[in-house]
Structure formats: C-alpha cells, structure tokens
Amino acid sequence: MDYVSALVPPLVMAVAFTFLIVTMIKSQGGANKAKEDHLVDAALARAEADRTASAGNAPGRDAS
C-alpha cells in the first residue's frame, strides 16, 4: 500500500492544476475580457498622465 500513498499527492496536485488551467481558460474572453481591457487602458492612461505631469515639472526645465 506504500505505492498508493506515494501516488496520491501527485495525483491530487495534477487534478488541482487541471482545474486551475480550466478556470483560467474559461475566464478569458467575453465580459471578463472587456473588463480587463478597460482596467488596463485606465492604468496606462493614468501612467501616461503621471509621466507627462512629472516631465513638465522636472527640475532644470525652462518654464517658457
């Protein structure tokens, strides 16, 4: 029976990994994709605005 106890943990991990992959694949696309795209676009716009604002206030820059 040692072989059963040796095989159970890898089998459990394989099943859990399979469920994880299936969940990741199911969550791609559809309404979730639009929500994720919106969040990424908002983050990129915020980063661009911060970069532009900090470039305008950089020391040693001409105010003209």
Which pTM does this prediction carry?
Answer: 0.46
pLDDT digits (tens, 9 = 90+) for 1-25: 888 999 999 999 999 999 999 998 8
* Range 27-38 average pLDDT: 77
Tokens (6 digits) for 57: 């206030």
| Among the listed residues 55, 51, 33, 31, the one whose alpha carbon sits nearest the alpha carbon of residue 43 | 51
**Which pair of structure tokens corresponds to residue 29?**
């696309």
